[in-house]
Amino acid sequence: MDTVKSSVTFDIRTKPSGKIKITNWNKSKVVMTGTLLVLTLLSMYGFLTFDYKEINLIQATLDTLANLKLMFLQANLNNFTLAEAIYQIGLTVGLAFLATIIGAVISLFIALFAAKNLSPKPLANTIIIFIAFIRAVPTVLWVFIFAIAAGLGSEAAILGMLLHTVAFLVKAFAESIEELDAGVIEALRASGANWWHVVTNAVIPSTMTSLLSWTFLRFETNFTVAVAMGAVAGAGGIGFELFMASGFYFDMKEVGFITYAILLIAVMLEFMSTRLKKRYIVKS
């Protein structure tokens, strides 16, 4: 016993200064420190090289604060009616809903071929890479690109949002499907079920809840995207009204009202989607 002890007596590591070391620089720690260091340096460099165009930062900040005060404390509609506002919100929600629901249906089909436990690896990988490519393009660019072919409007907006939705959902769906217990699929296969049987009897029923919550999560995102498309890509809806109120009428009170409306819908959607997520995604 004693000999064992004495053989490990000199394993205390020391720093060059002679002090006892207590940390251990493993790979994970090195990479984390490195990442933070690089991000910090890049940020510092970024701040030094921005084109500030001789802006008066203090004045601009004060102006913004004054605007925010006006917006949030005296929110009001001036250039259009409440009924119209509700219609425009409905339009934006409608855009988001269409893009989400059509996207979800398409994604479900594609995801079946993108999940590695249902489809041959080369096919699954090809789809995943292709999807990653589509996802990397910002939604607004897709909308603009579709607008050339389909004209600016709801079609282009929905198609653009749809493409991005599909790219997002296929990945999420495929991952949900891959989490499925391998035994279930095997058991069905062994009993002579064909591929479609497996899909309709095992895959879809047991992943349904998680697919639904992913879809809802995307709906939440798509609402924000639809607002953006209204403001930037002429897709109409509340986003366009926001753009007009701030950039055309310079009416902060109306901007305030619209912002409140968007905030309300977004908070509601977020509330619902967190509840769904808590119930289904986290648990599984």
Partner 1 sequence: MKIDVYRKKKRQFTIFALIVLCMTFISAKLTNFSFVQGISSVPEAFRWMGSNLLITRESFEKMPSILDKLIETIFLSITATTTASIIALLLALLGSQTTKVNGFFSTLSRFIASVFRNIPIVAWALILLLSFGQNALTGYFALFLATLGFLTRVFTETIDETSNSSVEALQSTGANYYQVVSKAVLPECSPQMISWILFMVETNIRSSTLVGILTGTGIGFAFDLYYKSMNYNVVSLITLSIVVVVISIELISNYIRRVIL
Partner 2 sequence: MPLLEVKNITKQYEKDKKVLSGISFDVNGGEFISIIGPSGAGKSTLLRCINRMVDFSSGEILFHNTDIMSLSKKDLRKYRTQIGMIFQHYNLVSRLTVIENVLHGRLGYKTTLQGIMTRFTEEEKKEAFHLLEKLGMREHAYKRCDHLSGGQKQRVGIARALIQQPKILLCDEPIASLDPNSSKVIMDHLKNISQELRITCIVNLHQVDVAKHYSERIIGLNGGQIVYDGAPQELTTTNIHQIYGSEAENLILA
Mention every residue, 6+ apart, whose C-beta is less than 8 A from residue 136. none
* Interatomic CA distance for residues 216 and 166, integer angstroms: 13
CA-angle at 230, arms to 229 and 236, nearest 5°: 135
Per-residue mark of binding to partner 1, 110-139 (x: CB under 8 A): ----------------------xx-xxxxx
CB 246 within 8 A of CB 232: no
Indicate the burial class of 166 (C-beta count within 10 angstroms; 0-12, 13-18, 19 or more). Answer: buried
CB atoms within 10 A of CB 249: 14
CB 64 within 8 A of CB 55: no
* Cβ at position 19, least distance to partner 2 in Å: 6
* Cβ at position 24, least distance to partner 2 in Å: 5
Phi/psi zone of residue 236: left (φ > 0), alpha (ψ -120 to 50 degrees), beta? left
User: Which helix (H) or strand (E) is 209 found in, with range?
Assistant: helix 204-232
Interaction residues for partner 1, span 22-41 (CB under 8 A): 27-28, 31-32, 35-36, 39-40
Total binding residues toward partner 2, as defined by CB under 8 A: 13
Per-residue mark of binding to partner 2, 6-45 (x: CB under 8 A): --x--xxx-----xxxxxx-x-x-----------------
Residue 50 is a binding residue for partner 1 (CB under 8 A) = yes
CB 203 within 8 A of CB 180: yes
Stretch that binds partner 2, among 3-11, 178-186, 229-237, 276-284 (CB under 8 A): 3-11
CB 34 within 8 A of CB 215: no
Nearer to partner 1, 71 or 177 (CB): 71
Report the partner that residue 20 touches, choosing among partner 2, partner 1, none (CB closer than 5 to 8 A by kind). Answer: partner 2
Per-residue mark of binding to partner 2, 232-261 (x: CB under 8 A): ------------------------------
Nearer to partner 1, 87 or 109 (CB): 87
Q: Could you give the C-alpha distances from 214 to 37, 188, 247, 253, 278, in angstroms and in order?
A: 34, 26, 35, 36, 11
Report the partner that residue 246 touches, choosing among partner 2, partner 1, none (CB closer than 5 to 8 A by kind). Answer: partner 1
* Interatomic CA distance for residues 81 and 138, integer angstroms: 33
Nearer to partner 1, 135 or 189 (CB): 135
Per-residue mark of binding to partner 1, 141-180 (x: CB under 8 A): x--xxx-xxx--xxx--xx---------------------
Per-residue mark of binding to partner 1, 205-244 (x: CB under 8 A): -------------------x--xx--xx---x--x--xx-
Nearer to partner 2, 7 or 49 (CB): 7
Mention every residue, 6+ apart, whose C-beta is less than 8 A from residue 180. 117, 202, 203, 206, 207
Binding site for partner 2 (CB under 8 A): 5, 8, 11-13, 19-24, 26, 28
